[in-house]
């Protein structure tokens, strides 16, 4: 994604002529919690009741959290910041993520809409099932890994909202806010991590120190 002109108008950019479709482009962070926290609890509880060894649940859950940080980086860098080659692609990716860079302070466009997050979560659940149940004889890992992965996503969405709309004056929170604001206001082709800068270091997308 090249630099997008920032629009400081407090009125959100309208994305669809249809008011019905436009309604689904405005999402409250509460929606994320209502949809996904029960799913995190369900898959975690399911593993606890099915796993034959007590270590499986915490290890799989932590693995899911870790996998989310990688998925967050890859999706943000290569999907949301995909360089469109046609006007149609440009329109699609503006709907996905470009509108957020154009208006980074619009509160109702800071978390992922369910119309996007639910299909993506379903794809990852299928991937975990393929890896842990079909390829590897580790069926008990599916639920807790998915639970940790979705917990990571929830943390990401809440942190993304917080970095844009809450003052963070101290410690790691201030650093993470600055890290993400530099992505928006300095160079959108660097610093893709939101909940963790780990993969920016690994894949050299941290800005060079002066």
> Phi-psi category of 106—alpha, beta or left, where left has phi over 0 and alpha has psi -120 to 50?
beta
pLDDT in tens, 154-209: 999 999 999 998 888 888 999 999 999 999 999 999 999 999 999 999 999 998 87
How would DSSP label each residue in 59-86?
HHHHHHHHHHHHHHHHIIIIIIT----S
pTM for the model: 0.91
Residue range 121-138: average pLDDT? 94
Tokens of 34: 């209502």
Q: Domain extents for the chain? A: 19-171
pLDDT at 198: 95
Could you identify the residue written with the tokens 């309604």? 23
Residue range 58-72: average pLDDT? 97
Tokens of 112: 């992922």
The Cα 158–Cα 155 span in angstroms is 5
**What is the CB neighbour count within 10 angstroms for residue 30?**
9
Tell me the pLDDT band of 4, cut-offs 50, 70 and 90.
low
């Amino acid at each position: 994604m090249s630099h997008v002109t920032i629009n400081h108008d407090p009125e959100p950019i309208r994305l669809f002529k249809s008011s019905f479709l436009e309604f689904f482009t405005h999402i409250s962070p509460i929606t994320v919690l209502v949809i996904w926290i029960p799913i995190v609890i369900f898959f975690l509880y399911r593993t606890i009741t099915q796993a034959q060894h007590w270590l499986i649940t915490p290890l799989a859950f932590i693995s899911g959290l870790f996998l989310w940080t990688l998925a967050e980086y890859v999706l943000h860098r290569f999907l949301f910041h995909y360089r469109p080659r046609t006007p149609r692609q440009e329109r699609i990716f503006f709907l996905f993520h470009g509108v957020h860079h154009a208006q980074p302070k619009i509160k109702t466009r800071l978390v992922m809409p369910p119309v996007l997050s639910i299909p993506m979560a379903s794809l990852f659940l299928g991937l975990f099932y393929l890896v842990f149940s079909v390829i590897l004889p580790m069926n008990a890992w599916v639920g807790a890994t998915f639970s940790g992965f979705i917990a990571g996503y929830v943390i990401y969405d809440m942190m993304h909202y917080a970095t844009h709309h809450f003052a963070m004056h101290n410690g790691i929170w201030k650093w993470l806010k600055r890290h993400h604001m530099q992505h928006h206001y300095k160079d959108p082709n660097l610093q893709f991590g939101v909940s963790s800068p780990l993969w920016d270091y690994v894949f050299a997308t941290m800005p060079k120190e002066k």
